[in-house]
Chains A and B, each alone.
Chain A
Amino acid sequence: QLVESGGGVVQPGRSLRLSCVASGFSFNKHAIHWVRQAPGKGLEWVAVTTYDGTAGYYAVSVKGRFTISRDNSKNTVYIEMTRLRNEDSGVYFCVRDADPSGYSGWFDPWGQGALVTVSS
């Protein structure tokens, strides 16, 4: 199970941090991703952190503004979002990559999502 928190309304240019707490599986053995969905739109991959948190990779649209991290002692993944734009609005899902060999986009399970609204 994955439970996101930290969503809300934020002004453009400001920052917001989302958290995702995991339970029910060996957290420190899996890469964790963030995927977002703008209202009425499709799914967009945002970022991934490796199982040990030593590396993170980002979509071009958020690179340099978002930072993904994890604390394996707390079974928690974070995404720090800075310099937010209107187009960053949407539901942010935390997902486990179930691929035992690393990361492949095999997402299971999904969290329920955290709504982020960037608006003045």
Chain B
Amino acid sequence: QSLLRQPPSASGNVGQRVTISCSGSASNIGPNTVHWYRQLPGSAPTLLIYSTSQRPSGVPDRFSGSKSGTSASLAISGLQSEDEADYYCAAWDDRLHGVVFGTATSVTVL
């Protein structure tokens, strides 16, 4: 199954802004919405952003999502120590008729 491409790692100091990219294709991100998940060690992933830019209740507005063409981005502003986790993007793929995940980005707070 094809994967969406994410940088393996990202880091920043407390209070800084970090951006994670998610690169796809004309069969997934291009025509469809993108969703983002956060996974803490030893835990199941949780929904962070849905429908490209929507935040579920309880997710602080420090997290934001966007999309342009066949790429999407997750931005974390005002980085906090509890943001250290793995982050995944996901989208439906019209050609594969299934969901494709990103390759995961591990965020480190310096």
Tell me the nearest residue of chain B to A104, going by C-beta: B92
Tell me the nearest residue of chain A to B91, going by C-beta: A105
Chain A residues in 8 Å Cβ range of B46: 108, 110
Binding site of B, secondary structure by majority: helix, strand, loop or mixed?
strand
B104 within 8 A of A: yes
Interface residues in A97-113 by Cβ distance below 8 A to B read 98, 103-113
B: number of interface residues (CB 8 Å):
27
Q: Mark B40-57, 1 if CB is under 8 A from A, else 0.
A: 000011110011000010
Q: A59-B98, A105-B91 are in contact. Are A44 and B1 (CB under 8 A)?
A: yes
Q: Which residues of B contact A (CB under 8 A)?
A: 1, 3, 32-33, 35, 37, 39, 44-47, 50-51, 56, 88, 90-92, 96-104
Q: Which residues of A contact B (CB under 8 A)?
A: 33, 35, 42-45, 48, 57-61, 93, 98, 103-113
